[in-house]
């Protein structure tokens, strides 16, 4: 029997091999198991793959970790698009490394999802068929080199704000994956900010390009944190389970508070007429993101949704021979190991 891949309002059964061998059964917990699970969560401990966990907890994690993994690999596209057009060899080498890091993040995350009894091939099918989401931010185009730097500064900056708390998530494999991801995201954010600094201190045309990138990426970056708390159906439960440690609005506020001074340092203007520092609280008050636009992009109607998924599907098809070769190699090695073990067994019986 396959495990279940949740897609929010709908769910599909998967038939992956990992599904039949890993993770707890899709049944309600006994009172004893539930008490053990509750105690781990209450003690701020870590739930591990072999521990009994409520089915809804497992599904929530599969949904979030899969979306997160998909975001990492789809997120390679806007920036990958600029590797061949980077303005110098140094910039190109850095960007190349960053885009490769994103692929690595996808791999850690698909592995973390597999510990919950799903198969990454099924998750990729769900992405390619539009049954699972990825972050809205990657449906906006990187039109200029400054956009690539703004993605590093703002998008990776937002990602760190969201993901550092996830390294304390109650599910062990997800939390551990986040530790390394955050270290790398931190480097990504720094390279984006350094690149924006070079543009902001450059010619008038370069500074204008930096401002234009900020104008277009500011609001979509705020949307990365998800809908407002009063319209976030998953937050309360995910926070009670220790998956999310802060609400969407709390993290959005932290991001604004951290990023506005950086924009000021760059001499750039945040495109929000309502932005003002509240001297009493020390927090910035800011305008409302266009949540209708967010809903449209989530629903598949962003500027690049179709292009991103079509490109991903093509890349997946083009990579089929690599997966086949890797599987054949793994099968041959497994065969060799079996033969070796059999030979050792023969020798042992002759000695006996
Ligand atoms: N885009 O109840 P809510 C990166 C969906 S990649 C699309 O608040 P939740 C990088 C949400 O899924 C970093 N959909 O949900 C890579 C839910 O729909 P379903 C990506 C969104 O899960 C390459 C519905 O709206 N980071 O850094 O409690 C290059 C209601 O929302 C979005 C992660 O994935 C969105 N922005 O909270 C550069 C972080 N927001 O599933 C950089 C991990 C919400 O019920 N994920 N939705 O149908 C999370 O922390 C949480 O899932 C979220 C949403 C805060 C995003």
Tell me how far the alpha carbon of residue 224 lies from the centroid of ligand 1, in angstroms.
Answer: 7
So what's the pLDDT on residue 22? Answer: 40
> Which ranges of the chain does DSSP label H, i.e. alpha helix?
17-21, 31-42, 55-74, 76-80, 89-114, 120-128, 145-150, 156-166, 172-200, 204-223, 235-240, 248-266, 291-298, 305-318, 320-351
Contacts 24+ apart (CB under 8 A), 6-13: 6/59, 6/60, 6/62, 6/63, 7/63, 7/126, 7/131, 7/132, 7/133, 8/63, 8/133, 10/131, 11/59, 12/126, 12/131
Tell me how far the alpha carbon of residue 122 lies from the centroid of ligand 1, in angstroms.
Answer: 19
CA angle 130, 185, 266 (to 5 degrees): 110
So what's the pLDDT on residue 18? Answer: 34
- Do 79 and 145 contact (CB within 8 A), yes or no? no
Contact residues for 198 (Cβ-Cβ < 8 A; gap 6+):
206
- Do 33 and 20 contact (CB within 8 A), yes or no? no
Contact residues for 124 (Cβ-Cβ < 8 A; gap 6+):
316
So what's the pLDDT on residue 10? Answer: 34
Per-residue pLDDT of the chain (352 residues; tens, 9 = 90+): 334 343 333 333 333 333 333 444 445 899 999 999 999 999 999 999 999 999 999 999 999 999 999 999 999 999 999 999 999 999 999 999 999 999 999 999 999 999 999 999 999 999 999 999 999 999 999 999 999 999 999 999 999 999 999 999 999 999 999 999 999 999 999 999 999 999 999 999 999 999 999 999 999 999 999 999 999 999 999 999 999 999 999 999 999 999 999 999 999 999 999 999 999 999 999 999 999 999 999 999 999 999 999 999 999 999 999 999 999 999 999 998 888 888 877 666 666 5
Q: Is the shortest distance between the CB of 91 and ligand 1 below 6 Å?
A: no
Q: Is the shortest distance between the CB of 233 and ligand 1 below 6 Å?
A: yes
Q: Is the shortest distance between the CB of 132 and ligand 1 below 6 Å?
A: no
- In a 10 Å sphere around its CB, with 0-12 CB exposed, 13-18 middle and 19+ buried, how is residue 90 labelled? exposed
So what's the pLDDT on residue 70? Answer: 98
Q: Is the shortest distance between the CB of 181 and ligand 1 below 6 Å?
A: no
Q: Which of 152, 195, 234 best tests ligand 1's pocket when mutated (most atoms within 8 Å of CB)? A: 234
Residues 5 and 110: their CA atoms lie apart, in Å, by: 13
Task: List, for residues 80-108, the tens digit of each pLDDT value.
Answer: 999 999 999 999 999 999 999 999 999 99
Tokens 């494999």 correspond to 173
- Do 270 and 214 contact (CB within 8 A), yes or no? yes
- Do 132 and 110 contact (CB within 8 A), yes or no? no
Question: CA dist 226 to 159, 204, 249, 277, 291, Å?
Answer: 12, 35, 8, 23, 10
So what's the pLDDT on residue 275? Answer: 98
Residues 35 and 41: their CA atoms lie apart, in Å, by: 10
Tell me how far the alpha carbon of residue 236 lies from the centroid of ligand 1, in angstroms.
Answer: 15
First to last CA, the chain: 43
Q: What is the torsional sign of CA 130, 132, 136, 141?
A: negative
- Do 228 and 248 contact (CB within 8 A), yes or no? yes
pTM more than 0.85: yes
Q: Which of 10, 226, 231, 295 best tests ligand 1's pocket when mutated (most atoms within 8 Å of CB)? A: 226
Nearest CA to ligand 1 atom 30: 232
So what's the pLDDT on residue 341? Answer: 85
- Beta bridge partner(s), residue 6: 11
């Amino acid at each position: 029997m396959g495990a279940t891949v949740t897609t929010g309002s709908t769910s599909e059964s998967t038939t992956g091999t990992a599904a039949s061998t890993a993770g707890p059964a899709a049944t309600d917990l006994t009172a004893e198991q539930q008490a053990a699970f509750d105690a781990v969560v209450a003690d701020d401990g870590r739930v591990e793959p072999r521990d009994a966990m409520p089915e809804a907890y497992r599904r929530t994690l599969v949904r979030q970790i899969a979306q997160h993994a998909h975001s990492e690999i789809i997120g390679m596209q806007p920036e990958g698009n600029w590797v061949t057009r980077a303005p110098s060899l140094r910039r190109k080498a850095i960007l190349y490394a960053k885009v490769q890091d994103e692929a690595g993040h996808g791999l850690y995350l698909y592995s973390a999802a597999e510990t919950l009894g799903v198969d990454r091939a099924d998750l990729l099918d769900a992405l390619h068929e539009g049954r699972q989401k990825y972050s809205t931010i990657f449906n906006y185009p990187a039109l200029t080199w400054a956009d690539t730097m703004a993605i590093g500064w703002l998008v990776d900056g937002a990602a760190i704000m969201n993901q550092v708390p996830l390294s304390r998530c109650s599910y062990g494999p997800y939390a551990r994956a986040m530790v390394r991801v955050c270290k790398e995201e931190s480097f990504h954010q720094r390279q984006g900010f350094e690149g924006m600094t070079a543009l902001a201190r450059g010619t008038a045309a370069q500074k204008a390009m930096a401002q234009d990138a900020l104008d277009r990426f500011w609001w979509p970056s705020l949307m990365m944190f998800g809908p407002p708390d009063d319209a976030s159906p998953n937050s309360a439960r995910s926070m009670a389970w220790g998956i999310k440690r802060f609400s969407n609005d709390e993290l959005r506020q932290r991001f604004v508070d951290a990023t506005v001074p950086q924009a000021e340092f760059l001499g750039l203007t945040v495109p929000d007429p309502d932005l003002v520092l509240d001297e009493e609280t020390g927090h910035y008050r800011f305008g409302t993101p266009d949540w209708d636009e967010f809903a449209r992009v989530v629903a598949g109607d962003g500027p690049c949704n179709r292009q991103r998924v079509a490109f991903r599907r093509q890349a997946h098809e083009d990579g089929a021979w690599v997966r086949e070769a890797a599987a054949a190699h793994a099968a041959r090695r497994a065969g060799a190991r079996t033969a070796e073990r059999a030979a050792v067994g023969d020798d042992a019986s002759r000695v006996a």
